[in-house]
């Protein structure tokens, strides 16, 4: 099924706010295992990712291995970001893969698991992703652009064991994160 507009998630358990793993960490550097969307533990994981993401200022996406679980699951919500155009609200995807990507653009990225750096990364701004919803296992295809496309690629990279640092565009594309007091 192709998703148009905000995705309606199945009912999930109450989520817990979990600590976020920071690099260097082996769980962030290795490809994650496929997950069973119908496993109750995956439904709990989805709820935990949503709760942790909502509790973290500025966080628009969170992958399972960022909370120490090496499964191909991530939560995403770019609906309130100023660079967002098309978006699908708040959702969790299991075993997501990129089906089509085009129109590359370079932009600055950060990550909760790399708190001290940002980086210039070239990513597609037109994207189609296919994945499964937790709890129901329903297959979903999402076509999107701009910031949501970037965020999806960033999170799918996490499930493949990559950080944005592995995608930076050149020897001078890593920057110290600016903290404004």
Partner 1 sequence: MSLLRGTFGWVLIVSFVGVAQAALESTLQPLRSPELAVTVFPVSVPTSVPAGPAGRLQLTVHGADHPGIVSAMTRVIADRGGNITDLSTRLAGGLYVIVAEFELPDEADVSSLDAQLRQVAGSVGVTAHLAPVDSDVL
Return left, alpha or beta for 29; rule: phi > 0 is left, psi -120 to 50 is alpha, else beta: alpha
Residue 103 makes contact with partner 1 by CB under 8 A:
yes
- Give the separation between CA 134 and CA 62, rounded to whole angstroms: 15
Residue 136 makes contact with partner 1 by CB under 8 A:
no
Considering only residues 7 to 26 of the shown chain, the ones binding partner 1 according to CB under 8 A are: 22-24
Which one of 90, 109, 148, 155 is the catalytic residue? 155
Q: Beta-carbon neighbour count of residue 56 at 10 Å?
A: 13
Task: For the chain, report the end-to-end CA distance as a whole number of angstroms.
Answer: 45
Q: How many residues bind partner 1 (CB under 8 A)?
A: 26
Question: Whole-number minimum distance, CB 116 to partner 1, in Å?
Answer: 4
Q: Pick the stretch among 3-11, 78-86, 97-105, 140-148 that binds partner 1 (CB under 8 A).
A: 97-105
The answer to whether residue 148 is catalytic is no
Query: Alpha helices, DSSP H only, in 9-145?
Result: 26-29, 40-55
Residue 126 makes contact with partner 1 by CB under 8 A:
no
- Kindly state the tokens that stand for 46: 């989805």
DSSP 148-170: HHHHHHHHHHHHTT--GGGGBSS
Of 19, 176, 180, 181, the one binding partner 1 (CB under 8 A) is 176
Cβ closest to partner 1, residue 76 vs residue 149 = 149
Binding site for partner 1 (CB under 8 A): 22-24, 29, 103-106, 114-117, 122, 162-163, 165-174, 176
């Amino acid at each position: 099924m192709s998703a148009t507009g905000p995705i309606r998630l199945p009912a999930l358990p109450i989520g817990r706010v979990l600590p976020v793993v920071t690099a260097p960490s082996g769980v962030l550097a290795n490809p994650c295992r496929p997950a069973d969307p119908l496993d109750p533990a995956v439904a709990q994981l989805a709820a935990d990712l949503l709760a942790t993401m909502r509790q973290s200022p500025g966080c628009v996406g969170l992958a399972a291995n960022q909370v120490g679980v090496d499964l191909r699951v991530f939560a995403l919500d770019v609906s309130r970001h100023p660079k967002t155009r098309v978006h699908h609200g708040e959702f969790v995807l299991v075993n997501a893969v990129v089906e089509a990507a085009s129109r590359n653009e370079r932009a600055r990225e950060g990550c909760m698991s790399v708190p001290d750096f940002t980086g210039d990364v070239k990513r597609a701004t037109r994207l189609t992703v296919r994945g499964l919803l937790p709890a129901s296992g329903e297959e979903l295809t999402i076509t999107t652009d701009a910031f949501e496309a970037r965020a999806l690629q960033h999170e799918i990279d996490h499930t493949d064991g990559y950080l944005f640092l592995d995608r930076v565009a050149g020897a001078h594309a890593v920057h110290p994160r600016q903290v404004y007091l």
